[in-house]
Amino acid sequence: MPAVTWFCVDIECSGPVPGLYDMVSLGAVVVNDADDGALSLGESFYIELRPEAGMDPDAMAVNGLDYALLLREGVPRGEAIRQLATWVKAQTRPGTKPVFVGHNAPFDWSFVAWCYAAEGMPNPFGYKAFDTKAFSAGVLGLHWLDTNKENLSVALGLPDEDHGKKHRADYDAWYQALILKGLLERQRAPRTSSPTE
């Protein structure tokens, strides 16, 4: 049985670092890893949060969310991460551990981890995260600076990103799930040895 359940997570935020700024939305998609090694995309999760700290207009311009609407209708941080933890627990396969996966995981994980710490709640993903940028550098032999989604979509034969949906956390989490699935399949594919001269 696989030792992990993969959770591809993307967040949008009101600024560059947690604490001074807020996570304002979060999307997540499960990548199911069957006993036979088959991979498939599973359930998804999306939530928008009420901001509590600072706001960088440039960051909000990237995510396109309405800050005033989030202040009125966003889910309070504690409730949002409680819902996430409940969903992660329900989606985690028996006998496996949930793994946070991000494309530039240090950034997204830091906001999620900070929210759990600020609320005095355990992070369902623990202190570790799996980064598809680093993973793609190893699996595909790419330079770090070439591990962007555009290059990975070509290398893995994925559909182009929909730029009308890009930077919406649920869409980005789904696309990152495609990347993870493609990278894992490439890593697990039988290797053929090169003929000797």
Please confirm, yes or no, whether 167 is among the known catalytic residues: yes
- Provide the angle, in degrees to the nearest 10, between the axes of the packed helices 105-118 and 77-91: 110
End-to-end CA, the chain: 41
Amino acid at 151: N
How many contiguous H segments (helices) and E segments (strands) does the chain have? 7, 5
Q: Which residues pair with 23 in a beta bridge?
A: 13
For the chain, the residue count is: 197
* Nearest CA among 173, 2, 18, 151 for reference residue 102: 173
3-state SS, residue 166: coil
Chain centroid to Cα 119, Å, comes to: 21
Residues designated catalytic: 167
